């Protein structure tokens, strides 16, 4: 079978994922021999605009730790193709591998890196607007313990925040389970909303699910209203009760308290978790739950 080549250089090998942006393939850079990730979507589709948006934002973020490098974006036959550095498994993949529970140590290690990545994205003037376990991936090789942020198709330049302040009735951005209360109320998002999404992710890792998952209604509007009301009714303390220390409740309440356009204190939040890490006697050795599980599988 004849190889499928992108830009005459990148060979499409196998499909590895599918999502709202299109299809993702593992590929090979025939000039360097390196593995790459190739996103494909049909030209003329709205998804092609997301790929072009992602390319522009990744280039604006280039040089930052945990940001995938864009190698090429262009048209190939009827497709729009985005070629990036290959990365490892997502946090969702690893969560499933670990039996759908992460230990407190692993959640804290993830939280420290995630806050650093999001703080960097925000420092360049962008909001991500779709933070979730599937969009946080580990690297490969020497970057195997480094968390990377991907999928900037829904990201937006927020340097001119004032023009968004009073808008109402906007679409709900991101993935429902992790979307913020402001998003549920169809308001434009701000810096704190990305952090709120991370907070729900930490709770998910500790509980195995989120309280509003699976809520249904007789109509879509009724289901939407039920999810919004549950999110609004559950404080950080209620979300973390029995599964996470009070520092996580403080984090969620802090993220929710931030006003529109109010910059978070990332250093304060990282100190909050680092002090808890030290108080628990954990070692900063980059040994995650999946590291231990894989070691024991190999050893046995």
The catalytic site residues sit at: 130
Torsions phi, psi for 248 (to 5 deg): -70, -35
Residue 64's Cβ-count burial label (10 Å; 0-12, 13-18, 19+) is: middle
Q: Which helix (H) or strand (E) holds 255?
A: helix 246-257
Is residue 258 a contact partner of residue 252, using CB atoms and an 8 Å limit? Answer: no
Helix extents (H) in 72-190: 91-97, 104-123, 181-184
d(CA 39, CA 133) in angstroms, rounded, equals 19
d(CA 21, CA 193) in angstroms, rounded, equals 22
Q: Which of 99, 96, 272, 124 is nearest to 199 (CA)?
A: 272
- The two tokens of residue 188 are 């434009």
Which is it for strands 79-85 and 136-138: parallel, antiparallel or unpaired?
A: unpaired
Is residue 170 a contact partner of residue 188, using CB atoms and an 8 Å limit? Answer: yes
d(CA 184, CA 68) in angstroms, rounded, equals 29
């Amino acid at each position: 079978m004849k190889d499928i080549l992108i830009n005459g250089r990148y060979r499409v090998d196998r499909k590895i994922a599918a999502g709202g942006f299109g299809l993702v393939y593992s590929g090979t850079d025939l000039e360097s021999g390196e593995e790459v990730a190739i996103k494909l979507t049909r030209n003329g589709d709205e998804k092609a605009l997301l790929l072009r948006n992602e390319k522009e934002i990744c280039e604006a973020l280039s040089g930052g730790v945990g940001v995938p490098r864009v190698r090429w974006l262009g048209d190939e036959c009827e497709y729009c193709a985005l070629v990036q550095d290959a990365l490892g498994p997502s946090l969702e993949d690893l969560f499933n591998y670990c039996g759908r529970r992460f230990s407190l140590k692993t959640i804290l290690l993830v939280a420290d890196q995630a806050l650093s990545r999001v703080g960097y994205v925000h420092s360049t003037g962008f909001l991500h607007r779709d933070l979730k376990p599937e969009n946080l991936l580990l690297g490969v090789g020497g970057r195997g313990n480094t968390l990377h942020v991907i999928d900037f198709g829904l990201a937006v330049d927020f340097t001119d925040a004032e023009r968004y302040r009073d808008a109402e009735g906007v679409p709900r951005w991101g993935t429902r389970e992790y979307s913020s209360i402001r998003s549920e109320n169809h308001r434009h998002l701000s810096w704190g909303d990305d952090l709120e999404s991370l907070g729900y992710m930490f709770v998910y890792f500790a509980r195995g699910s989120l309280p509003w998952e699976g809520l249904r209604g007789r109509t879509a509007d009724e289901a939407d209203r039920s999810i919004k009301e549950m999110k609004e009714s559950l404080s950080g303390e209620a979300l973390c009760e029995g599964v996470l220390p009070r520092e996580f409740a403080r984090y969620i309440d802090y993220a929710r308290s931030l006003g529109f356009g109010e910059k978070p204190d990332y250093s304060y939040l990282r100190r909050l978790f680092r002090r808890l890490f030290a108080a628990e006697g954990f070692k900063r050795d980059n040994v995650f739950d999946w590291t231990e599980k894989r070691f024991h599988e190999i050893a046995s």
